[in-house]
Amino acid sequence: QVQLVESGGGLVQPGGSLRLSCAASGFYFSEYVTSWYRQAPGKERELVATISSAGSFTNYVDSVKGRFTISRHNALNTVYLQMNRLKPEDTAMYYCRALRGPERYWGKGTLVTVSS
């Protein structure tokens, strides 16, 4: 079965760091563009970062540029999101998505809470 499983979320203080991981199984992960989305309470789901299948291209929403880094290790079927200098506005459920043509797979999310 196809699965994307996020991990690494938790409670951190403003200015802290977290690294999220997304482990894929059941499909050819190395052929898929992968993204991180987030959804805060009462807000729409937002695209945060994207990485191409080989990892040569990345893109970020303006609010996280310079603070977040997306990367992948295809041999491990895993994509990461390193989050530094976290702000309360980053609080959200973070979701991993893999895409190839019409195929789209979603993880169930991991919660990030930034609060003092």
For the chain, 116 residues long, give each residue's pLDDT as a single digit of tens: 999 999 999 999 999 999 999 999 999 999 999 999 999 999 999 999 999 999 999 999 999 999 999 999 999 999 999 999 999 999 999 999 999 999 999 999 999 999 99
Q: In this structure, are residues 4 and 24 in contact, taking their beta carbons and an 8 Å threshold?
A: yes
Look at residue 107 in the predicted model and tell me its pLDDT.
98
* Pick from 81, 94, 100: nearest CA to 30: 100
Look at residue 49 in the predicted model and tell me its pLDDT.
98
- What 3-state DSSP class applies to 37? strand
Look at residue 39 in the predicted model and tell me its pLDDT.
98
